[in-house]
Amino acid sequence: MKIKCILAAITLSVIINNIPVSIGAEELKEAELNNPQAAISITSDFLYNLQKYTGFNCFIDFLAETTIKALLKLKTRAKEVSVDLKLYSAFDLFKKKARYLKIRAEKLFVKGVPIKEFVLVTNDPISFKKKRVAVPLGISTSLKVDLQNITEVLNNLPKWKEVFKELDLPIPPFGYTKISVSDIKIMISETGLVEAETKIKSLVNPDSEPLNMKFKGNLALADKKIVINNLESEVEDIFTKDSDVGMSFSQFLEDLINPVFSFHKIERNGLTIDKINLSFDKDNVSLEINSRLLPKEPVETK
């Protein structure tokens, strides 16, 4: 039991230190010929075969996959998680080296945002050193958000909460008044058209009746950012979307809420995003992301 606990602790440490995920020596040589970046020093043939035929590799593989599943369920409240981890050997995993990892999770939450499906696949051999990859690692990620949950998704974005807490609403010809926005209901079509309805309430006169505001625009990608463009807005009994005041407020609102989400925020600690694809169908908003983890650049000495 003590040995199992030690192994579990080591494996968990590896995972927490960002190893998304260890082939014999002959297989590795072939991989290196096809991909020079994949030159990772691994356990010798003797030790590899010893671990393989004693069942130690299978045990550690099972333990690592089970730990990853448990960790993801704990962190994301996922309903279903499957993990496919390919080892070089158990010893190599302890040294933060692995061949391949695929994670698939369903009905999970990431920072309060409900995700219908999440898939992560590594495209290169994995080797970590001091919490950074030792060689470049390609990663393909895809996720789906149910359109029925999109109101909950956007209402849970910290930026939207901050933006709509207090706004300047134009009241011609009297200037502006401070308002708060609540109860936002959002619909997104399979073409990416966003339509929203919300209640606005005066912060200057809290006893006044709330007013209805509507806005619509197109959800799109721009410079690694999700934005709503071509925004039009109108407020009941105040202005229409085609009025000068309406167009001015729409531009103000568009500048305020965009970007809805910026992927530049997660490009840190060696993570670089190369390509993002945004698509829609009648039920889902889907994102496909190709990214790379890069080694830490050596410090130049003079």
* Alpha carbons 110 and 153: distance in angstroms, whole number: 10
* Alpha carbons 206 and 129: distance in angstroms, whole number: 57
Question: What integer is the mean pLDDT of 148-169?
Answer: 76
pTM of the model: 0.74
Per-residue pLDDT at 167 exceeds 90: no
Helix (H, G, I), strand (E, B) or coil at 270: coil
Q: What is residue 122's predicted lDDT score, i.e. its pLDDT?
A: 95
Which one-letter DSSP state was computed for residue 239? B
Please name the residues in contact with 81: beta carbons below 8 A apart, sequence gap of 6 or more. Answer: 68, 69, 72, 73, 103, 104, 105, 106
* Alpha carbons 147 and 287: distance in angstroms, whole number: 13
- Reading the block at residue 56, the tokens are 């130690």
- Whole-number percent of the chain with pLDDT over 70: 79
Which one-letter DSSP state was computed for residue 170? E
Per-residue pLDDT at 254 exceeds 80: yes
- What digits encode the pLDDT tens for the residues 86-104? 988 878 888 889 999 999 9
- What digits encode the pLDDT tens for the residues 210-233? 889 999 999 999 999 999 999 999
* Alpha carbons 107 and 116: distance in angstroms, whole number: 5
Which one-letter DSSP state was computed for residue 238? T
Contact 235, 169 (CB under 8 A): yes
Q: How many CB atoms are located within 10 Å of the residue 34 CB?
A: 7
Per-residue pLDDT at 273 exceeds 90: yes
Dump the DSSP string for 112-143: TEEEEEEEEEE-S-EEEETTEESS-EEEEEEE
Average pLDDT, the chain: 79
Q: What is residue 56's predicted lDDT score, i.e. its pLDDT?
A: 63
Domain boundaries, the chain: 2-146+263-293, 158-259
Dump the DSSP string for 17-34: TT------HHHHHHHHHH
Which one-letter DSSP state was computed for residue 18? T
Per-residue pLDDT at 47 exceeds 60: no
Per-residue pLDDT at 25 exceeds 60: no
- Reading the block at residue 48, the tokens are 């590899």
Helix (H, G, I), strand (E, B) or coil at 259: coil
Of 89, 73, 93, 91, nearest to 81 by C-alpha is 73
Token pair 């945002």: residue: 113
